[in-house]
Structure 1
Amino acid sequence: MAVNSHRRAAWRRPAGATSLDAAGITDPRLRQDFLTCRALHAEHGRTYFLATGLLPPGKRPYVWALYGFARYADELVDSLEAPDPDGLLTWGESFLDALRTGTVHDPVGRAMLTTVRRWDIPTEHVEAFLRSMRMDITRTGYATYADLEEYMYGSAAVIGLQMLPVLEPVSAEAACHARLLGEAFQMSNFVRDVGEDLDRGRVYLPQEDLDAFGVTVADLRAGRAAGSTPAAVRRLLAFEVERTRELYRRAEPGIAMLHPTSRDAIRCAYVLYGDILRAVERSGYRVLERRVAVPLPRRAQVALPALARARWARGQAVRWQQA
C-alpha cells in the first residue's frame, strides 16, 4: 500500500520536476517560477523546447528561463490581441534594476535572475536584448541588411551568447558561431512570418532587398489581404532563404565546439530550424497566405535519433567523471 501511495505521489509531480531536482533548485517558489518559464517555452517555442529536452536534465531549467524571459518580453510588443509596449518598458527597467539590487518581483524575472547568476551571463547581453525589444515599439522596417543586423544582434545573437555558458563551450571561437546561429534562427522566423509580421505593422525584410526585386510594402499588404503571394515576392523570399542558409553554413562548425552533452540538442535545433526554410520552399514561398510548419513526422525523424545520441553522450560524460 505504501509503495502504491509513493508511486501515485510520483505520478502527480509536475512535468519538469526531475530537471529542477537535477539542477538543485529546491525553493518551492523558485521551482514554480522555472515551471512558468517552461510553460512559455513549451507553448511558444516548440522546436527549441524539443531540442532542450536533449540537454542534461540539470541544464534544462536554465534554458526554460532564458527562453521564457525572451518570450515574455516579445509578447509584450508582438501580441496581436493585447500588446503592451508600456508594460515592456516598465518590466524591462525593473529587471535591469534587479540585476543590480538582486530584488525581483515577477516569476519570469526571478528565474532569469537565478540563471544569469548561476551561469555568470554578462549584463550587457540582457541590455542588448531589451534594447532590440524596445525598437519593436516604434520601428516598422529596416533600410538595409546592416540595419537589420543591428536589431538581430539584440533580438537573436545575444540569445545565442546567453545560452553559451549553459552549453559549456570547449573553444573560445564558439561565441562567433553562436551569434551566427542565433541570426540564422531569427532569419528563418522572419522568412516564415512575413504575413504575421505585416499584421503587426512590421516588415523585417530589408527595404534594399525589396527594391532589388521590385517589391513594395504595398505589394506585401495586398498579397496578404488577397491570400496570395506574388511572383516577385516569391523571388525575394528565395533570395532570403539562400542568405539564411549561408548563415547556417557559417554557424555549423560551432556545434563541435560545445561540450559533448550539448551538441545533439543544438544540432537538433540547427536541423529543424533549417527545415523551416525547406517548408517555405515546399509551399512555393506562399508565406503571405499561411504559416508554414515543419511536419511532426519530420520532427520525430530528427529528434529520436538525436535523443539516443544525447543519452549516450551523457553516459560517456558520467563514466569519464567517475574514472
Structure 2
Amino acid sequence: MTTVEDAYAHCARITREQARNFHYGIRLLPPAKRSALCAVYALARIIDDIGDDPALSAEAKLQGLAEVRKSLGDLSTNTDPVYVAVADAARRYPIPLGAFEELLDGVEMDVTGRKYVRFEELVEYCRCVAGSVGRLCLGVFGSRPDTAAPGYADELGIALQQTNILRDIREDLRNGRVYLPKEDLDRFGVDLAIGEDGNLADPGGGLTALIHDTAARAREWYTRGLRLVPSLDRRSAACCTAMSGIYRTLLDRIDEQPSRVFDRRLSLTGREKAVVAARALTGAGR
C-alpha cells in the first residue's frame, strides 16, 4: 500500500526530473505547499504525456485521457501514488480539481488536431492547457480575498502558453501541429515550412514580424496576469514570480532575435533560471 509520504516523494521525483522550468519556482515554497504543487504537476505531467506519446494512436490517447477523467471522479479509490498525493493535497488545500478536466479538454484538442483560425480560439486552448494550471497553483498558494484572483491566474497561464508556442514553432510543425492562428499567419503572409536545412523558412521576413507581434501581445497577458502577485503571501508570490520570470526572459530572448527559434528549442541555462528564482525570492523580479 502506498503511504501519503511515499506518494508525495514520488511526485517530487517526477517534478525534479521533468519540470525544467516549474521546479525552480516550486523550490521557493514552504514544504507543505511544495509537496502539494508537486502532486499537481505530476498529474498534469501524466495528462500531457498521454497526449504527446508518439507510440500511441489517437484512439489510444483518447482512451487514456478518458481513464484519467474516470480516476478524477473518485480519487479515493485510486492507489497510484500520483492520485494518492493529489487526493491528499485536495483535502489540505482548496484545489479546483475541475481544472484538471479543462486540461484534459485541451490535450484532447491536440489529439484530435484542432486548428486555430482566430486568436480567440487559441485563447480557449491556452486557457484549457495552461490557465487551468494557473488556477490549480492558486489553489495551493492561497490568496487574500480577491474574486479576481482566479482570472489573473488564468491570464498568467495563457501568457506562459503563448511563450511556449513561440518557442516551439519548429518542433510543433515537425509534429504536425500549428498553434499560430491562421488569421495571424495570413496577416503577415506566412506559410509555415521547414527548409531543406531543417530550419524554419522565413524568405520574406514575415515570420520574424509575426513573432515580434505575438511577443508584444503575450506581454499584455503577462501584465494582466501578474496582478495576481500582490494577493499572494511572500513565498507564493516568489514562486509565481520565478516561474513567470523564466518564461518572460525566454520571451524577451525570442523577441530580441526571432531566428533563435528557427533551428532549435530555445531555453535558459540552469544558472540563468536560478538567478531569476533568486531575484523572485527577494522581490526584485516583480
- Give me the TM-score of the superposition, normalised by structure 2: 0.88
The runs of at least 4 consecutive aligned structure 1 residues that moved more than 6 Å come to none
- For structure 1, which runs of at least 5 residues remain unmatched after alignment? 1-26, 311-323
State the shift of 1:82 in Å: 2.9
Separation in structure 2 between the aligned mates of residue 121 and residue 133 of structure 1, nearest angstrom: 20
Give 1:83 shift: 4.1
**TM superposition shift of 1:266:** 0.8
Query: SS in structure 2 opposite 1:289?
Result: coil
Does 1:199 find its partner at 2:174? yes
Q: Does 1:114 align with 2:88?
A: yes
Q: Distance in 1 between matches of 2:30 and 2:70?
A: 31
Q: After superposition, what is the alpha-carbon deviation per residue over 1:259-293, rounded to whole angstroms, capped at 9, x for unaligned?
A: 23311111111211101112213443331311111
Quick check: 1:49 aligned with 2:35? no
CA deviation after TM superposition for structure 1 residue 144, in Å: 0.9
- Give the superposition deviation at 1:99: 3.7
Tell me, what secondary structure is at the counterpart of 2:193?
Answer: helix
Query: Following superposition of structure 1 onto structure 2, how do residues 188-267 of structure 1 map, counting pairs within 5 Å?
Result: 188-216=163-191, 220-223=192-195, 226-230=198-202, 231-267=205-241
CA-atom RMSD in angstroms: 2.3
Per the TM alignment, residue 140 of structure 1 is displaced from its structure 2 partner at its CA by 4.5
Aligned to 2:67: 94
Matches within 5 A, 1:1-323: 29-79=3-53, 81-83=54-56, 85-101=58-74, 102-170=76-144, 171-216=146-191, 220-223=192-195, 226-230=198-202, 231-307=205-281
- Which of the two has greater helix per residue? 1
For residues 241-269 of structure 1, give each alpha carbon's deviation from its aligned partner in whole angstroms, at most 9, with x where no partner exists: 11111111111221111123311111111
The answer for unaligned runs of 5 or more in structure 2 is none
Q: 1:224 to 1:122 in 2, by over 3 A?
A: farther
Question: Residues 93 and 119 (structure 1 numbering): CA distance in 2 closer, same or farther, change over 3 Å?
Answer: farther
Q: Deviations over 1:96-145 (max 9, x none)?
A: 33344321143323322332333233343222111111111112431111
Q: Deviations over 1:171-216 (max 9, x none)?
A: 2221111011010111111110111111221011111100100012
**Structure label with greater radius of gyration:** 1
Q: More relative contact order in 1 or in 2 (CA 8 Å, sep 6+)?
A: 2
Identity %: 31
Give, as a single letter, the amino acid of the residue that structure 1 aligns with 2:37. Answer: V
Aligned AA (1:300): A
